[in-house]
Amino acid sequence: MLLRALRRAHVHSRLCSTARGGTWQLLNRIPTPACLDPAAPQTSTTTFFPPEIEALYRGNQRFRDAVAVSSTPNVLKDLAAQGQRPPFLLLDCSDSRVGEQVIFSVEPGVLFTAGNVANQFHEHDLNSKAVLAYAVDTLRIKHVIVMGHYGCGGVAAATLPH
């Protein structure tokens, strides 16, 4: 049910019925009930998504706005056009408390990141192998950083008896 709801939210975030003939157009904003039903009353605070998803969207808007007024306002357009060539591969934990770009205070395009629980890398882990092979062979990264952190719940869980 959650997956169905996420798929539905994803579709509605990209498509909106226009008032003219019910054709569909791509949007770059959160659809309001008026977008989904033009006859519905519209208010500035009414949105289709739950508040936590709207908060992510608004955060992305603030990120784009900040990039636009930064010292490199075209960095995202340039990366999209030219592809990525980051100098660093960062293998880290899938921890939600602090993001990689925040820790290192770097702009987009500097770190190619891959995280998993407790920063584990096993010889039979196809995902980890694929990340490393893509980073080295395709992206031609120069440096591999393996980073852990204090208070890792994954490490604590791994040390518990089975």
From the candidates 4, 20, 97, 122, give the one annotated as an active-site residue. 97
Establish whether 78 is a catalytic residue.
Answer: no
- Rounded Cα–Cα distance for residues 85 and 140 (Å): 7
Establish whether 97 is a catalytic residue.
Answer: yes
From the candidates 16, 35, 92, 93, give the one annotated as an active-site residue. 93
Establish whether 149 is a catalytic residue.
Answer: yes
Beta strands 24-26 and 15-17, pairing class: antiparallel
The residue type found at 133 is A
From the candidates 7, 58, 149, 162, give the one annotated as an active-site residue. 149
Establish whether 137 is a catalytic residue.
Answer: no
Residues with a catalytic annotation lie at 93, 95, 97, 149, 152
